[in-house]
């Protein structure tokens, strides 16, 4: 048969470093240490996999949009014969 505990043990903390004020201060310091940095640098330096995925999606969308703009410029140039919308050199740069 297993012995049963008949009451709750009372623990007294006598260490002055573990006062409620000290614990609150340490908790604030802990949150400050591990919070995500703000701004663009903080956004680029995060290592959480969900945030990296969002960053990847944003980057992919930006490059997709830039490619669409370049494709639109090429289509405008090729819409008519002897079009001077883009110079020959600029068209070659966009194409490559």
Tell me the per-residue pLDDT of 9-29, one tens digit each, with 9 for 90 and over: 666 656 667 788 888 999 999
What is the pTM for the complete model shown?
Answer: 0.60
How remote is the C-alpha of 57 from its chain's centroid? 10
The residue extents of the domains of the chain are 39-95
**How far, in Å, are 14, 32, 36 from residue 25 at the CA level?**
18, 11, 19
Residue 30 Cα distances to 21, 35, 67, 90, angstroms: 14, 8, 44, 54
What pLDDT digit, counting tens, does each position of 37-78 carry?
889 888 888 888 999 999 999 999 999 999 999 999 999 999
User: Can you tell me the distance from the alpha carbon of 95 to that of 61, in angstroms, rounded to the nearest whole number?
Assistant: 20
Contact 88, 94 (CB under 8 A): no
């Amino acid at each position: 048969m297993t012995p049963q505990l008949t009451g709750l043990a009372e623990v007294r903390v006598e260490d002055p470093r573990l006062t409620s004020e000290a614990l609150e201060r340490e908790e604030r310091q802990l949150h400050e240490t591990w919070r995500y940095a703000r701004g663009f640098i903080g956004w680029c330096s995060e290592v959480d996999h969900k945030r990296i995925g969002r960053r990847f999606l944003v980057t992919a969308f930006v490059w997709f949009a830039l490619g669409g703009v370049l494709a639109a410029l090429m289509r405008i140039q090729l819409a008519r014969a002897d079009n001077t919308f883009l110079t020959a050199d600029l068209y070659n740069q966009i194409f490559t």
